[in-house]
């Protein structure tokens, strides 16, 4: 175990690791504090200050009460039955991540940021569903043939959903996309 620790310190210090045949390769080393399992499952003290009445400056919740409170708060956010399964499963992952905020306070921020991606996923799914899987495009020449439609997974330039929504064409309110 000591040899491994010495080797790790060498890699971090030099950025190189000698391999078989005395080959040397660059290793991207990022210093990270290695925590014990007990430290990983210990509640974050910042989370314990949030009670059902708000932020408490005088006391803290016990970890079990804090875990239950965080789950109750996020459990009240439910989706309707019309939400597609892919969006629903992503939403459940975010709810679980929010619950882990009891152990890692930054999980609340991460869940908040990922919720924006969830919103984009929901809008993308609805947009593609609205057009029955093929988004009508109009080229500069005025061509509106089915061959110019954007289909999910298409490899042609400017017809994938990511490129369509990423700026290669603009979508008008009437739903017709025009290439820039």
Q: What is the pLDDT of residues 129-149, one digit of tens each?
A: 888 877 777 666 666 665 555
Burial of 62 (0-12, 13-18, 19+ CB in 10 A): exposed
Domain limits for position 140: 133-180
97: in domain: yes
164: in domain: yes
Judge if 55 and 121 occupy the same domain. yes
Rounded to the nearest integer, the mean pLDDT of the chain is 75
12 close to 22: Cβ distance less than 8 angstroms: no
| Reported pTM | 0.61
Asked if pLDDT for residue 89 goes beyond 60, the answer is: yes
Q: 161 pLDDT band (50/70/90 cuts)? A: very low
Contacts of 28 (CB under 8 A, 6+ apart): 15
Last residue of a domain, one of 130, 146, 170: 130
Mean of pLDDT values over 109-116: 95
72: in domain: yes
Judge if 142 and 180 occupy the same domain. yes
What's the pLDDT score for residue 175?
45
Asked if pLDDT for residue 33 goes beyond 50, the answer is: yes
Judge if 82 and 116 occupy the same domain. yes
- CA-CA distances (angstroms) from residue 133 to 50, 130, 153? 45, 8, 10
What's the pLDDT score for residue 32?
84
Judge if 110 and 167 occupy the same domain. no
Mean of pLDDT values over 75-89: 92
What's the pLDDT score for residue 136?
73
Judge if 122 and 144 occupy the same domain. no
Judge if 48 and 126 occupy the same domain. yes
Cα–Cα distance, 98 to 95 (Å, whole number): 5
What's the pLDDT score for residue 145?
61
37: in domain: no
Asked if pLDDT for residue 103 goes beyond 60, the answer is: yes
Q: What's the number of domains the chain is made of?
A: 3
What's the pLDDT score for residue 38?
94
What's the pLDDT score for residue 129?
86
Judge if 49 and 124 occupy the same domain. yes
Judge if 48 and 98 occupy the same domain. yes
Judge if 164 and 119 occupy the same domain. no
115: in domain: yes
Asked if pLDDT for residue 9 goes beyond 70, the answer is: no
């Amino acid at each position: 175990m000591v040899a491994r620790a010495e080797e790790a310190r060498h890699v971090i210090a030099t950025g190189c690791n000698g391999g078989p045949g005395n080959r040397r390769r660059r290793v991207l080393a990022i210093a990270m504090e290695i925590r014990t399992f007990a430290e990983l499952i210990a509640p974050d003290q910042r989370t314990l200050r949030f009670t059902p009445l708000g932020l408490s400056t005088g006391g803290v919740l016990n970890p079990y009460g804090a875990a239950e409170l965080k789950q109750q708060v996020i459990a009240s956010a439910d989706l309707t039955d019309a939400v597609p399964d892919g969006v629903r499963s992503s939403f459940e992952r975010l709810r679980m991540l929010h619950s882990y905020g009891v152990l890692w306070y930054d999980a609340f921020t991460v869940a908040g940021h990922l919720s924006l991606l969830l919103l984009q996923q929901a809008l993308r799914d609805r947009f593609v569903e609205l057009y029955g899987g093929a988004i009508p495009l109009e080229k500069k020449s005025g061509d509106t043939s089915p061959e110019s439609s954007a289909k999910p997974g298409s490899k042609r330039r400017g017809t994938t959903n990511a490129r369509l929504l990423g700026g290669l064409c603009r979508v008008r309110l009437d739903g017709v996309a025009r290439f820039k």
